[in-house]
Structure formats: structure tokens, C-alpha cells
Structure 1
């Protein structure tokens, strides 16, 4: 646990210096998945989950009940506190604080079943090509397009899960590559789509493989290349006549 904690703390600390709280939470999620897969005693895992849950609920309570104090106690920026407050009850916040969320919901819902087409966008949504690309998909292609995107992500995650399970017997390292990148894609997709529909707070996490971004796309392609390499090694193992 100490080794996992140290390895995780280094990138989390550096990312928080930017600051980019959302991306640092991605690293913590991936580390949590590795802990679950590592075979550590379930009692230790249960203690960590319970302690983390209590800490998270306590932090949320402080933010909602004492917004001003939470900036000093938790070290949060004012905009981060406002995002959490908007997530809990957007009706109590000013129109300036909920502007982006309101516009994204309007764009997503206006597409209805089949959308308006890629040239029929009517809702003005600033910086829609980055974190709010899913709203553009909803307005352009409607529920059908959104459902197709979610299905494609599901298939991608499913294939990585299969490769991770099948490669575990001959390469634990390769298996962890698959599970680690699976965790990365999953948390980005879940958080990004979740914040668009209002079940998650708004963060600056892109929808990988769809949101605009050079380094984001490059790193995603590198990750997929590593997973593909694991799949190739897995096929070679299965082709051996004698094992």
C-alpha cells in the first residue's frame, strides 16, 4: 500500500500544482482499481473505502453548509466550491454560475430523438469542442447518436476487459496495462457524460477520443497501442501448440 501510495502521490501532487483537481482524481481512481486487483486483504480495502467515503461525505457537507469556510479548510478555489453547489442545487445559484450547465442541457435536450444534423446547431455553447462535446452530439444526432456513442464506449471497455482477463495467466503486467487504461477511459467517459446530464459535478475532464486536444488524443492512442500489444501477445500465446 505504501508503494502504491507513493507512486500515485507524485503525479497527483504535480497535477494539483497546475491546478487540475479533476485530472488528479483520475489518478486516484486508477490507483483504487489497482488496489482492488492486487489481492490485498479485503479488510484493508474495506477500511480504505469506508474511510474515503466518510472523508468525501464530510468534505461535501462542509462545502454545502459552509461554502466560505470550505475554501480555507479544504484548500479549494471559489470556482470549485461553486461547481459543487451548482451540482447539488442549480436552482439556488445565479444564472452566471449555471450558464454553461444550462446551455449544455439545452443543447443536449433540443436534439430530441434523432437530432438536428451537424449543420443545424442552434444553441450557442462556448468551448463546446472540448469538455462539452457530448452536448453537441446530442443536439446534432439526438438520443440515437448519444446512445450509439455510449454503446461504442461500452464495447471498447468490454474488449479491454476481455484482454485483461485472458492475459492474466501469462502476463500480470500486461493484464494491469489493460485494466489501467480501461479505468482511464471509463472514469473520463463516466465523469464527462455524467456532468453533461447533471449526475456529476462539472470538471475539466475531456471525453477521450472525442474531445478536441492534441496531447489528449496522442496519449489515448499510445494507451490503445499498449493494449493492442497485449492483445497480440495473447494471440501468440494461444497459437502455441504446447503450453
Structure 2
């Protein structure tokens, strides 16, 4: 393992902090390197990439501090201190970065040691839903003006959770194909960290009775995903 003579001697000399700092600054590009295994991952809360830091030897310090502006490291923190070890003829250590649910075009990940810091930029991209499941706690409402049916649209993926702020649109269709009622209290920020969008169907027509199809639609990676829930409008109470 190669030792940097100038730095090693400096560490054993009293009062050489200024010289050490100068040496570290002048040789920064050789003393610390950082790279990422991917340039982007989906913002689904579970996708990962590896961030690797390389130092020439133990003479600086083997503990390397990783920090990130978004997401988290495998231990659920925004920073992690890991010890470098000899691998492939270099001293290196790898931290695992986990994406957040927030779409972020520029995620700054840094490795630092003894006042030196290097950054690499990655991105968290939109994680679209692959399906939507529409549910309601009630199966029918009376044909009274203002009758309400609470709705929840669950956005689903095989891996992780769809990114925050996904938009869901709702429609209510009568048996003859006509529109009915309106939707209120739709979450203004879109989907939450569980992939849920809440809404309330409000009846405005007091003459119609019969089945009602409520359709939830969300954008997917290619096209849209939909789900249909059937409730019944019963006679006035």
C-alpha cells in the first residue's frame, strides 16, 4: 500500500497544521475521489445507488463522511461515516444511497475527509404508478341533494411507492353514460407518501337513482392507469 511521504512526515511534526492544510489543498484531486454507480434512480423510496470514495492510504484518516441533500443512506440518515478498506489496490468505501419520494433533478452527494470534500450529482426521477385502486367506505348514497361518498385512490407499484404529488382525476358516470355530481376536497398536493389521493363525491341531481360508475385516472409511464368503483344511488330519504 502506497504512503504519501510528505503528508506522513507532516503528521509527525509538531506545529505543522498549516503545512498539512496546504498540502491537502494542493493535492486535493489525488487525495479524495468520489463516483456514483448510476446517474439517476426513481423517486420511489426504495431504489438505490452506490457512492464510492477512494483515498490513497490511511495517512489522512480512514473514516470518510458521506452526506446527501436528498434521500438517505441505508441506515436512514442523511449522513454516514464509513471506514475505507483496501480493495482493488486502493483504499475505498461505498455508501448506499436510497431515493426519497420527492422528484429531485439535482441531488448533491458528498464525501469528505480532513477538510477535503468532493461532490457527485445524481437525480431522483418520477416514479409513476403502475396501477390505481379506487375504494369507498360506503356502497350507496340516497338521492338527496348534497349526499356524499368518500373516496380513496391508491396508487400502486411493484417496487416502492409512486413519487409524491401524483395527480388523480375523477369522473362519475350514470347508467346512460351521462356525467353526475361533482368532486370536492381532492388533495391539492396530489398523492401523499403512501400513494393515496382522497376525494369526496357530492351528488347534485336528486332525480337519478341506479348504479353509478366512479372512475379514477392517473398518469403512468406510458399512457394512464384507471380503476372503476360502482356505487348505487338509492331513493330519497
TM-score interval w.r.t. the shorter chain?
Answer: under 0.3
Q: Highest Rg: 1 or 2? A: 2
More strand by share: 2
TM-score by length of 1: 0.20
TM-score by length of 2: 0.20
